[in-house]
Structure 1
């Protein structure tokens, strides 16, 4: 859909790894193995964090926010698909009207800014779903609607082999969607197996804020 950024233009072998933390009853976990690996290997990553995850993990959130390897971005207040008519995605009901769209974006934006001193640049909704009106609203609120061109773990349901295969499919300028809130999934192992192979191919990793001017829908 026009107005949603899903990759960036570059001739270099660089990609952006993005990790969602969705929050809620079954989504407030922390994949320590994954994050520890990124830190040990000095791999920068953009973290899209939901308000509910922040509330469940306040100390972890502050630790991640203060680590220069990571960029904290907005993954919404209640992790709802972003629509103006309640349209659902993956069985999750979306926001019902313009007011709920604004709340879904701005409540978490203000929380992140208050806790970190930095205003997010990007917004990715729950389930990564936008309708056309919601996209316009996000732009009007001063954020960039962000999705991906490589589905890295399908909500942390992929096997190790599938995660690895997805990561090895990247091209220069790819934005990869993965999850950091499901420690019992295979995301960490897939990432750990793929990163050395991508490095051998000459790839390096960047934060989205570094390539904001090169983003393309």
Structure 2
């Protein structure tokens, strides 16, 4: 494998890579959507950290009319105008939310999480969040309501700062693709196991990874079971660690 930085977004979410010391200092919030009687609902969230668009996933979403919430960075937006236009052409399906300006972990003390250097100060956390929102505004998208930081881990004080800015923080309940490092079979198995109320995280920015194939397979399996997909905007999300209340 090439150095960590080549796959910085993928490594950011793989749960087995974190050091025990950092894990004691940070929190990794969960998020569920409220269940509904008479049918199962799941929320698909896809991170677009950097790099290019996985058209396998994007095409499958459009063809199968599967709604999704896409967390985009300013970096990704600069290089994926065609994908953004496809998403904007289907506003009923795609909700674009804030993944930060430069994909910097929202941690206000200097450290590394999954090999990525944290923001390191309160000012830098605020800059990451606000620059991500500004990048979305340039595209003409509605102001984002949700934020998910790089690595999906936070210092508690950073959570408080982000909430004061008016953003809810998007955790998840199912890590679908292990930061896009899992194989297709395991990714499909994880996603297909989702149940009513789950929030799935996967990645749409690693087109060369086998995990993308598994994302599509898992989503089609859920659709075949009769589960309904919703965007975060269309459901009541309930997170822990003070991320939504």
The answer to whether the superposition gives a TM-score over 0.5 is yes
SS class of match (2:71): strand
SS class of match (1:156): coil
Query: What's the TM-score, normalizing by structure 1?
Result: 0.91
Aligned pair 1:15/2:39, yes or no? no
**Take 1:83 and 1:195, find their aligned partners in 2: how far apart are those partners?**
32
Tell me the matched-pair count: 212
Query: What's the TM-score, normalizing by structure 2?
Result: 0.81
Pairwise mapping of residues 150-169 of structure 1 onto structure 2 (< 5 A)? 150-169=174-193
Can you list the C-alpha shifts for 1:155-190, whole angstroms capped at 9, x where unaligned? 211101111111122121111110001001123321
Aligned pair 1:44/2:67, yes or no? yes
Shift of 1:60: 2.6
**Take 2:34 and 2:97, find their aligned partners in 1: how far apart are those partners?**
21
CA RMSD in angstroms, aligned pairs only = 1.8
Q: Could you tell me which of 136, 148, 152 is aligned with 1:124?
A: 148
Q: Could you tell me which of 25, 31, 34 is aligned with 1:6?
A: 31
Pairwise mapping of residues 47-66 of structure 1 onto structure 2 (< 5 A)? 47-66=70-89
Can you list the C-alpha shifts for 1:31-57, whole angstroms capped at 9, x where unaligned? 111100110000001100011111122
SS class of match (1:17): strand
Q: Any gaps of 5 or more consecutive residues in structure 1?
A: none
Pairwise mapping of residues 103-114 of structure 1 onto structure 2 (< 5 A)? 103-114=127-138
Equivalent pair of 1:4/1:135 in contact (CA under 8 Å): no
Give the match for residue 205 of structure 2: 181
Shift of 1:66: 3.6
**Residues 214 and 61 of structure 1, relative CA distance in 2, 3 Å threshold:** closer
Can you list the C-alpha shifts for 1:70-128, whole angstroms capped at 9, x where unaligned? 10000001111111112321010101111101000001102212322400010001111
After TM superposition, the runs of 4+ consecutive aligned structure 1 residues lying more than 4 A away are 1-5
SS class of match (1:18): strand
Range moving further from structure 2, 186-195 or 68-77: 186-195
**Take 2:204 and 2:138, find their aligned partners in 1: how far apart are those partners?**
22
Q: Any gaps of 5 or more consecutive residues in structure 2?
A: 1-25, 241-245
